[in-house]
């Protein structure tokens, strides 16, 4: 076996090592300082989240008065109820999930294929292929030509309009290519000697070793597609096709009321703007936040350690 799950071994060996090496005083001081600093970092980064959650459950008046910090004041879930009672909200939420999953799968497949090919130094015309990709990083066709292209390909009002034009993110592509290049050539040579063809090498050797980068890419792509609204806004002409980001963005615009002049909303259903913003943030970030812990275990460095002897 060439692959070894070093992540597991690392957790096994750590306590043993700690027992073996005596900690110096300086090291202990370092640990304490480290703990304090990191705790502060955690608090600082956590505070905005907690604050947003608290705001989302507070009364507008307290938010405007600047009295909401960590605990909701004037606790109520009216805004949640208001947003979630609309069936269009759920339709659009489902769209977001569908678009994100479909677009992420497509992106991962395309990016992996392109990056793997580019990582092969013996490939003829490799630099031209890299050049084509990098070119699109700096020059784009522009909004209207893109729109005309997508429309005349008949992609409008379908998930393909969102998934295909953005399938390959060049930055992600380059990161992935660098990762593949760092894989030891010997592994693939050994696999070839054992009789695997190119696809076998990619699917059975390279990809299992690349869980870390694939997980990272899934996360990058999924977050990007989850948050994106612009493509859907451009190419979707019916509200039942919009993702939830467009829905909520529109909701906030309606509550801000620039277009509303004279139309005074009913007092009993005033969509409290400050609360609404917080609710929006909570509802859109929550699912993607929940994905993080599951993906995180793949972010393990040094996965290649000991795979090759030589």
Partner 1 sequence: MSRRPWRRVATAAAALLAATSIAACSDDPSDAQDLSENRVGAMAEYAAGTQFKATEPLSFSVLYNNHPNYPLKNDWLFWSELTSRTNVTLDPVAVPLSDYNQKRSLLIGAGDAPLLIPKTYPPDVNTFVSSGAILPVSDYLDLMPNLKDKIEKWNLKPEIDTLRQEDGKFYLLPGLHEKPWHDYSLAVRTDIMQELNLEVPKTWDDLYTVLKAMKAKYPDVYPFSDRWSQPNPAGNLLNLLAVSYGLEGAGWNFQHVSWDPEAKKFEYTGATEKYKQMLQYLNKLVAEKLLDPESFTQTDDVARQKLANGKSFVISANAQAVVNDYRPDLARNANAKIAKIPLPVGPAGEINPASRLENGMMISSKARDSKNFVAMMQFVDWLWYSDAGQEFAKWGVEGTTFTKDAAGKHTLAPDVNVIGLNPDAPKHLQKDFGFYNGVFAYGGTPELVQAFFSPEEQEFQQVMNARTPKLPPPPYPLRDEEREQVSLWETPLRDHVYQATLQFILGQRDFAQWDAYLAELKSKNMDAYMETVTKAYDRYQQANG
Residues that bind partner 1 (CB under 8 A): 60-61, 64-66, 86, 88, 142-145, 147-148, 151, 233-234, 237-239, 242, 246-247, 249-255, 257, 259-268, 270-272, 274
- Report, in Å, the least distance between residue 291 CB and partner 1: 25
8 A C-beta contact, residue 204 and residue 3? no
The number of C-alpha atoms within 13 Å of 58 and in the hemisphere containing its C-beta is 25
Nearer to partner 1 among residue 209 and residue 232 (C-beta): 232
Nearer to partner 1 among residue 148 and residue 203 (C-beta): 148
Instruction: Report DSSP state, residue 267.
Output: G
- Report, in Å, the least distance between residue 141 CB and partner 1: 10
- Report, in Å, the least distance between residue 252 CB and partner 1: 7
- Report, in Å, the least distance between residue 269 CB and partner 1: 9
With CA atoms as reference, report the closest residue to 100 among 282, 215, 214, 224. 224
- Report, in Å, the least distance between residue 10 CB and partner 1: 42
CB-based burial label for 162 (10 Å; 0-12, 13-18, 19+): buried
Furthest C-alpha separation in the chain: 78
Nearer to partner 1 among residue 120 and residue 156 (C-beta): 156
Nearer to partner 1 among residue 184 and residue 257 (C-beta): 257
37 three-class SS: helix
Q: Which residues of 71-108 are buried (b: 16+ CB within 10 A; e: fewer)?
A: ebbeeeebbeebbeeeeebeebbebbeebbeebbebbb
Nearer to partner 1 among residue 46 and residue 253 (C-beta): 253
Neighbouring C-beta atoms of residue 218, cutoff 10 Å = 17
């Amino acid at each position: 076996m060439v692959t070894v799950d070093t992540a597991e071994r690392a957790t096994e060996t750590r306590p043993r090592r700690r027992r073996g090496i005596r900690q110096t005083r300086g090291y202990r001081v370092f640990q304490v300082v480290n703990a304090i600093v990191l705790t502060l970092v955690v608090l600082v980064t956590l505070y905005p989240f907690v604050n947003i959650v608290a705001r989302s459950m507070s009364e507008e008046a307290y938010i405007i008065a600047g009295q909401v910090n960590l605990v909701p004041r004037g606790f109520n879930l009216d805004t949640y109820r208001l947003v979630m009672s609309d069936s269009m909200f759920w339709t659009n939420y489902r769209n977001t999930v569908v678009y994100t999953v479909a677009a992420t799968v497509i992106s991962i497949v395309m990016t992996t294929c392109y990056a793997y090919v580019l990582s092969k130094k013996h490939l003829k015309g490799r630099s031209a292929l890299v050049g084509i990709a990098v070119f699109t990083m700096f020059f784009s066709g522009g909004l209207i030509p893109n729109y005309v292209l997508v429309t005349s390909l008949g992609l409008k009002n379908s998930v393909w309009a969102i998934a295909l034009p953005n399938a390959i993110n060049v930055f992600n592509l380059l990161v992935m290519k660098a990762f593949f290049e760092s894989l030891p050539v010997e592994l693939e040579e050994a696999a070839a000697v054992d009789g695997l063809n190119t696809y076998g090498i990619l699917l059975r050797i390279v990809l299992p070793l690349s869980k870390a980068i694939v997980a990272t890419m899934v996360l990058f792509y999924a977050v990007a597609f989850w948050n994106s609204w612009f493509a859907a806004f451009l190419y979707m002409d019916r509200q039942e096709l919009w993702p939830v980001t467009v829905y909520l963005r529109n909701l906030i615009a309606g509550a801000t009321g620039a277009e509303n002049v004279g139309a005074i909303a009913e007092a009993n259903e005033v969509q409290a703007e400050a609360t609404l913003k917080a609710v929006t943030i909570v509802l859109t970030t929550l699912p993607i936040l929940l994905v993080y812990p599951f993906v995180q275990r793949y972010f393990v460095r040094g996965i290649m350690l000991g795979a090759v002897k030589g």
